[in-house]
Structure 1
C-alpha cells in the first residue's frame, strides 16, 4: 500500500509541475488525463493512490504556476492579477526572488491551513445556508471597495462593469467552447486577455535585465503576516460556492498593493491559491460540494481517508516547493533576451494554446478580453478592476439573478 501511495504522490507531482509550467493548462486538464487512464491506474495503484495523485497534482500546480507568470507575464486562471508585481520584479532583475516569495507563501499556507481545515470540517456545515445567503452581499461590498479605493472611481467602475458584462457573456455561452469542459476552460482566454496579452502588447523595448540571485529581502514576520492573510482569503473562496482563486486575489488586492514592489501581494496570493486547494477538499468532504474538476473526479472514484489524502497533499507541497525554487534558479539564463520579441513570441504561443483548448469561441473571448484589458493602462486605473469578469457573474448567480 505504501508503494502505491508514494507512486500516486510522484505521478501527481509530475502532472502538477507540467500543468503549472505550461501557461493555460490547469490541474483540471491533468485530472482529465488521469481519468482517461483511470481503469488501468485503478487496477495497478488502487483508488486511494489515484485520489492522492489527483490532489497532489492540484497542490503542486499552486506552487509551480508562478513561474510562467513571473518570467513571461502570462497569467494562470488562478493567479491572474499577481502577474503584475511578479513580472515587474522580473523586469528589474529579481525574477528569482519573486518565485521564491511565491513558493514561500504557498509553503507557509500549508502549515496555516491545517487548523482551518479542522474548523471548516466540523463547525461550518451547520452555518452553510446563512453563508450562501450573504455571499452576494459580501462580494458587492468587496467590489465597492475595489472601485472606491482606486485612482479614478468613475473609470474603475466603467472597467469593472465592462469586464463584468464580458464575464457574463463568456460563462453563459461557455458551452460553445470545444474540446474541454466549458466553464473551467473559459477562464483561460478570459483572464489571459485581461491580464496577459493586454500587458504584453504594451511591452517596452530593450532586453531582459540580468537576473540577480539573491535571497528574499522580506523578513520572516512579514512573510508570515502576508501568508496568513492570503490563507484566510483562500479559505473564504475555498468554502463559498461559485468562487475561485481569482476571486481570492481580488479580495486581497485592496489590502496588499503595499510592500516593496508588491512583494507582500505575491506572498498573499500564492498562499491563497494553496489554501484554496486544501479547503476545497474540506468542502467536498463536509458538504459534498465540488469546487473544481479535480474534486469532481475525486468524488467519482471515491474519496480516500481524509488523513491519508491530506498527508499526500503535504508531501506533494514539499515536492512542489523544491521544484519551484529550482525553476526560479533558471532565471539566470533569461538575461539579454529582447523583451518585445519575447513578448510577441509568448502572445503567439498563448494564442495557439487558447485556440487548441477552447476553439473559435475561446478566440472571440480572448480578443474581447484583450481589448477590455487595454483600457486600464489608457485611463490610468489599476488592472484589478478587470476582476469584474469573475465577480459580477458570481454576484448575479449568488443573488439568483443570473
Structure 2
C-alpha cells in the first residue's frame, strides 16, 4: 500500500501493483495466460484488433491465444467482411472487426492526418486536403479496389509537383477511410495492398463524429483498452491508440474505474471487475508474432519486456515469452522453428520452449513437421 495526501492533507491508501502483478494481468487480458475457447471474431474484438502490417502475423497471434485455432476461420472472416485490415491505431495497419472500425474511424481521423503530415510536412505543404480527399473518393467511386500507386496516378495531374509516396499515404492512411481487401491478409496468400472505400466494402458509411464536443467513442476506447490491456496509465493508452490520452473520456469515466500505482508511482486505471491474477500464477510459454500489441500496447513495456530488449518490439522481431516475459526471439528457417534465447534458460524452460515450438511448427506446416531448434543465448 502507498499512502497519498491530497492538497488539503487528507490521506488515502493506494495499492501498488508490482511488475509481476502487472505481467499476470496483461497475460490474462491478452488471452496469453490460458488459451481462450471463443470465436475468432470475438477474440479480435476483445483485443481491440491486432496489429497486422505483416499480413501473416495475426494468425500466429491468434494461434497463441485460442484453443484449436483454425486459420481458415480468420480468412473466412476477411472474405466475409466481418473483419477488416485498415490503418487505425498509431497509423499502423490493424485487423479489426467491421463494427469497431466503422465506429472508431472518425475518432482517429485527426490523428491519422497529423501523423502523415508530421512525416511529410514539406512535401505536403499547400495541399488542399479536402480537395484531395474528394478527388480520391471520386476515383474509388466505381468500386474497383486500387493500389496506392494507381490512386495517385489517377489524381496526379492536379498535384503534379507532390511526390507520389506522400500523396498516396495521405490518401489511403488518412483522408479516405479504406479497407485493404483480400487476398491481402488471407492465410498463406500473397497479394499486394489494394484499397477499397470502407463504406463500399462494408455496406455503410463510417459513423460520424459525435456532435457538441461529446466523446462517446473515446469512453468506449478507454473501457475496451482497459479490458484488454489494463491496469494501465493514460500514457499507455496514448501509446496504444496514438490519440492524445483521451483526457476528457478518462475524466468522465473516473467514477467507474479503480486506481492503483506502479513501482514508479504512475497512476494506473482499471475496470473494477477485470481479472488481476495472483502474481504467482504460472505462465506458460507463448510465441508472439512480430509487432504484437501485448508489447506495443504500452508506453512502459517493462511489465513484459526488459528495457534492454525494448528495441526488439519495434524491430519486427518475433519473441517467446517464458514465465510471462520476453526471453527469446524466434524465426522460421527451412521449415523449422529456430529459437534464440536472450538469456540462459533452465533445462525445464528449454523443454517447455521446445514443446511449444514443436506445436507452432506443426501449425505452420499443417502438421507436416514439428522441427524446432533452441540455440545458445544470443
Q: Same fold (TM over 0.5)?
A: no
TM-score range, shorter chain: under 0.3
Higher relative contact order (CA 8 A, sep 6+): 1
Structure whose CA Rg is larger: 2
Task: Considering fraction of residues, name the structure with more strand.
Answer: 2
TM-score between both structures, scaled by the size of structure 1: 0.26
Task: Considering fraction of residues, name the structure with more helix.
Answer: 1
TM-score between both structures, scaled by the size of structure 2: 0.27
